Chains A and B, each alone.
Chain A
Amino acid sequence: MQPLKALATAIIGSSLMVYSASAAELNIVHGAIGKDNEVLRAELDRFEEQTGHTVNIVSMPESTTDQFGQYKLWLAAQSSDIDVYRIDVIGAPQIAEHFVDLTEHTKDIIGDFVPAAVESQTVGDKLVALPMFLGAPALYYRKDLLEKYNEPVPKTWQQMTETAKRIMEAEREAGNSDMWGFVFQGAAYEGLTCNAQEWIASFGGGRIVETDGSIGINNPKAVEALELAKSWIGSIAPEGVLNYKEEDARGLFQSGNAVFMRNWNYAYALAAGDDSPVKDSFAVTTLPVGAEGEKSAATLGGWHLGVSKYSKHPEEAIELVRFLNNYDNQKERAIITSRPPTLNAVYADAEVGEAQEFIPLWKPVVDNALPRPSAATKRKYNEVSSEFWTAVHNTLSGDGSAEQNLRKLEARLNRLRGSAW
């Protein structure tokens, strides 16, 4: 009896061990731009080597709005197909209940992360996602052209407008007929919300919805900001900018046809790449302000890794999330993709600073970045954002004045809020 029992225990025990050590197949979903896919694949290969698990990448379209729609469908269906989601910084408050609370699983490392990033992913007491990388946009400019025409790096949006116009006109006269002054993300989507809230905030016009939930977007400073932006369309910015997303803007700037560009940090590594015509002739600075004395506003962007509650392998998935956000991987991503990391220590890493000189300088920008009102407006954020970008897009395309559109926006937001967000 006894040997039999021992044998049975051994068999059960070993089969359990085999089970727990058996390789899991995980799926991670992300929306790739620039070099994201290659870098992630390389990191996953290392993870597979170390752990024996397999990880597949599920790729999504560029538009964060489209990605989020698909995520919601998967989560609504409680699909176990996806284990790890890379979610936009604004996503967490809207889909928090579908994710594993990472607080317990990361309490040993969470102190090393940039506080603003952790805060943006905390809903109530729950850590919805572990911050992967941040985004805080920059003003990209052609330092060769600025030097050529002896112009300083602009500090205010008005200066930028004038400099862009002057250089663009001079370059066109010199035969460079495709030259434009400024490109940004002007399509009617989340990217325009980011761009426009920067203009308005840096003019002192406040936020779309304040942190306490109040709405004061219809104010003279906001009108002023939007009117200036309206003046860009067709003069320093091509009319097509009204349908540009990140990659369209980068395409124009990187082919050497724009003096200024507002874009996220990922564009730095690509514009500085070996095959880039502007690799030696551009630099970045913080976004301009509306008027002297105002503060520059950079929208807090970023993508963070959450583990689906419906995953069949939550433990392996958490292991993967921790792995992808460890020091070495963050450092590698910072160097290759030029995206600001979420670990404080990486900003101070000498090798990172050498490869991407702006990253150490970007720490204060990241620490003070302007969040979108996703925490204040909770589940209604997407609609708030859509109302906002519609109002801005209408203004830019000449469908109603800034004043009219903001007045309409304020009324509509008030109605959307109802008694509470």
Chain B
Amino acid sequence: MASKAGISTLSRQRILSAWLFLTPMLLVLASVAAYPLIRTIYFGFTDASIDLIGQAQWVGFRNYLEYLDYGDGEGEYFGLLVDADWWRAVWNTLRFTIISVFFETVFGLVIALVLNREFRGRSLVRAAVLIPWAIPTIVSAKMWAWMMHDQFGILNDMLLRLHIIAEPIAWTASPDTAMLAVLIVDIWKTTPFMALLILAGLQMVPGDIYEAARLDGVGPVRLFLRVTWPLIMPAVLVAIVFRALDALRVFDIIYVLTPNNERTRTMSVFARDNLFDFDKFAYGSAASTLLFLIIALLTISFIWATRMNVEADER
């Protein structure tokens, strides 16, 4: 009994000091994350306009959904929830995320496996691989925009010389290749990030497991599938979550490479257009709110789904 009381005093103290340590962080988070978020959500329910924010009036759910009655029994729905442009942006974002994260994971895994081997100059290669990721996105997007330029671009020049294409491709302009162009740049840029995270996971795998497997005469493919993959799986999943979160709010690459193009407009670009270019700050705020909800929902469900898997594997 006495010992129990002692523990609870101790744990109470620990809880207290934990709160003490956490409070500054919570305050900072509240002011830089929670406050802007709540304000954005609030503006989504008003008729705010960017340069006259003080005059915002509460309008309820109108930015999301509104039924306009024509008075003769007919009517129409308006608002973000029935806005085809918005859903197109959502679909573009999801498509971009799924394809880019898939390829980044595959390429990242391959690069990580190579870098995990001992060879001369490994640290140099490891540093070199990181370069695309280290270049600011705006810079690399602009660089690629020039490389993909239909008349002056080096990409078309190389493909033409190799006789892979007969005519220059307008990479960023043509509706058929706009998304492809964006994907190429994003995959080029972010694969190193995946490689790095997966490499960290690979280096956690103890070497004696491989030694034991080799003594048992396990082939390389089986070794990867049965030993390496299950062990690095948690690290890969974490990397995928990070990457997917990033990809879902993709903005800069698209804004530089293919601005104002319906084929590549993502949720963030849609929100920005409405917030700053159009006189629709409130509508843009509503879009930002939905963007936040969609990302939160996807992340939670992804973590939930994969944690189940991880647990199943451990059993």
Interface positions of A (Cβ within 8 A of B): 63, 65, 68-69, 72-73, 75-76, 94-95, 97-98, 178, 186-189, 238-244, 248, 251-252, 257, 379-380, 382-383, 386, 389-390, 393-394, 397-399, 415
With contacts A76-B51, A239-B170 taken as known, whether A397 is within 8 angstroms of B175 at the C-beta atoms is yes
With contacts A389-B260, A397-B174 taken as known, whether A69 is within 8 angstroms of B51 at the C-beta atoms is no
Chain B residues closer than 8 Å to A393, beta-carbon distance:
260-261
The reply to whether A382 and B278 contact each other, CB–CB distance below 8 Å, is yes
B259 located at the interface, meaning its Cβ lies under 8 Å from any Cβ of chain A in the complex: yes
User: Complex formed: what's the CA distance from A399 to B78 in Å?
Assistant: 24
The reply to whether A75 and B51 contact each other, CB–CB distance below 8 Å, is yes
With contacts A73-B276, A239-B173, A252-B151 taken as known, whether A188 is within 8 angstroms of B261 at the C-beta atoms is yes
A and B contact pairs by CB, cutoff 8 A, 23 listed: A63-B259, A68-B277, A72-B276, A97-B51, A187-B260, A188-B261, A238-B151, A239-B150, A239-B173, A240-B149, A240-B151, A242-B173, A243-B258, A251-B151, A251-B152, A252-B151, A379-B49, A382-B277, A383-B277, A383-B280, A386-B260, A390-B262, A399-B262
* Residue of B51, B150, B152, B277 with most chain A CB atoms under a 10 A cut-off: B51
The reply to whether A76 and B170 contact each other, CB–CB distance below 8 Å, is no
Chain A residues closer than 8 Å to B78, beta-carbon distance:
415
**Closest chain B residue to A252 by CB distance?**
B151
The reply to whether A95 and B152 contact each other, CB–CB distance below 8 Å, is no
The reply to whether B173 and A240 contact each other, CB–CB distance below 8 Å, is yes
The reply to whether B53 and A76 contact each other, CB–CB distance below 8 Å, is yes
Chain B facing A: main interface SS: loop
The reply to whether B261 and A383 contact each other, CB–CB distance below 8 Å, is no
User: Complex formed: what's the CA distance from A73 to B168 in Å?
Assistant: 39
The reply to whether A98 and B258 contact each other, CB–CB distance below 8 Å, is no
Chain B residues closer than 8 Å to A238, beta-carbon distance:
150-151, 168, 170
Chain A residues closer than 8 Å to B258, beta-carbon distance:
243
Chain B residues closer than 8 Å to A187, beta-carbon distance:
173, 259-260
The reply to whether A189 and B150 contact each other, CB–CB distance below 8 Å, is no
User: Complex formed: what's the CA distance from A241 to B170 in Å?
Assistant: 8
User: Complex formed: what's the CA distance from A252 to B168 in Å?
Assistant: 14
With contacts A75-B51, A188-B260 taken as known, whether A178 is within 8 angstroms of B151 at the C-beta atoms is yes
B273 located at the interface, meaning its Cβ lies under 8 Å from any Cβ of chain A in the complex: yes
Chain A facing B: main interface SS: helix
B279 located at the interface, meaning its Cβ lies under 8 Å from any Cβ of chain A in the complex: yes
Given contacts A69-B277, A239-B169, 15 further A-B contacts (CB under 8 A): A72-B50, A187-B260, A189-B259, A238-B151, A238-B170, A239-B170, A241-B173, A243-B172, A243-B173, A243-B258, A379-B279, A380-B279, A383-B279, A390-B262, A397-B173
Chain A residues closer than 8 Å to B172, beta-carbon distance:
240, 243
User: Complex formed: what's the CA distance from A243 to B258 in Å?
Assistant: 8
Chain B residues closer than 8 Å to A248, beta-carbon distance:
149
Closest CB pairs A-B (n = 7): A240-B150, A243-B173, A240-B170, A242-B173, A188-B260, A239-B170, A69-B276
Chain B residues closer than 8 Å to A178, beta-carbon distance:
151
Query: How close is A162's CB to chain B, nearest CB, in angstroms?
Result: 22
Residue among A242, A252, A379 making CB contact with B174, cutoff 8 Å: A242
* Residue of A73, A94, A243 with most chain B CB atoms under a 10 A cut-off: A243
**Closest chain B residue to A243 by CB distance?**
B173
**Closest chain A residue to B262 by CB distance?**
A390
Chain A residues closer than 8 Å to B262, beta-carbon distance:
390, 394, 399
Chain A residues closer than 8 Å to B151, beta-carbon distance:
178, 238, 240, 251-252, 257
Query: How close is A302's CB to chain B, nearest CB, in angstroms?
Result: 20
Query: How close is B266's CB to chain A, nearest CB, in angstroms?
Result: 15
User: Complex formed: what's the CA distance from A187 to B174 in Å?
Assistant: 11
User: Complex formed: what's the CA distance from A186 to B150 in Å?
Assistant: 13
**Closest chain B residue to A73 by CB distance?**
B276
With contacts A243-B172, A382-B277, A383-B278 taken as known, whether A189 is within 8 angstroms of B50 at the C-beta atoms is no
Query: How close is B86's CB to chain A, nearest CB, in angstroms?
Result: 14
Query: How close is B56's CB to chain A, nearest CB, in angstroms?
Result: 12
Chain A residues closer than 8 Å to B49, beta-carbon distance:
379
With contacts A188-B261, A238-B150, A241-B173 taken as known, whether A76 is within 8 angstroms of B50 at the C-beta atoms is yes
User: Complex formed: what's the CA distance from A377 to B78 in Å?
Assistant: 21
Query: How close is B272's CB to chain A, nearest CB, in angstroms?
Result: 8
Interface residues of B in 246-275 (CB under 8 A from A): 258-262, 273
**Closest chain B residue to A239 by CB distance?**
B170
User: Complex formed: what's the CA distance from A239 to B165 in Å?
Assistant: 15
* Residue of B53, B149, B260 with most chain A CB atoms under a 10 A cut-off: B260
Q: Mark B226-260, 1 if CB is under 8 A from A, else 0.
A: 00000000000000000000000000000000111
User: Complex formed: what's the CA distance from A248 to B151 in Å?
Assistant: 9
Chain B residues closer than 8 Å to A240, beta-carbon distance:
149-151, 168, 170, 172-173
Chain B residues closer than 8 Å to A398, beta-carbon distance:
175
User: Complex formed: what's the CA distance from A363 to B258 in Å?
Assistant: 37
Chain B residues closer than 8 Å to A75, beta-carbon distance:
51
The reply to whether B168 and A65 contact each other, CB–CB distance below 8 Å, is no
The reply to whether A386 and B175 contact each other, CB–CB distance below 8 Å, is no
User: Complex formed: what's the CA distance from A389 to B259 in Å?
Assistant: 12
Query: How close is B289's CB to chain A, nearest CB, in angstroms?
Result: 20
Interface residues of B in 57-102 (CB under 8 A from A): 78
**Closest chain B residue to A381 by CB distance?**
B279
Chain A residues closer than 8 Å to B273, beta-carbon distance:
386
The reply to whether B173 and A65 contact each other, CB–CB distance below 8 Å, is no
The reply to whether B51 and A390 contact each other, CB–CB distance below 8 Å, is no
User: Complex formed: what's the CA distance from A243 to B277 in Å?
Assistant: 19
Chain A residues closer than 8 Å to B168, beta-carbon distance:
238, 240
Chain B residues closer than 8 Å to A252, beta-carbon distance:
151
With contacts A73-B50, A76-B50, A240-B150 taken as known, whether A382 is within 8 angstroms of B175 at the C-beta atoms is no
Query: How close is A248's CB to chain B, nearest CB, in angstroms?
Result: 8
The reply to whether A239 and B174 contact each other, CB–CB distance below 8 Å, is yes
User: Complex formed: what's the CA distance from A69 to B273 in Å?
Assistant: 9
Chain A residues closer than 8 Å to B53, beta-carbon distance:
76
* Residue of B169, B175, B278 with most chain A CB atoms under a 10 A cut-off: B278
**Closest chain B residue to A412 by CB distance?**
B85
User: Complex formed: what's the CA distance from A95 to B52 in Å?
Assistant: 10
Chain A residues closer than 8 Å to B277, beta-carbon distance:
65, 68-69, 382-383, 386
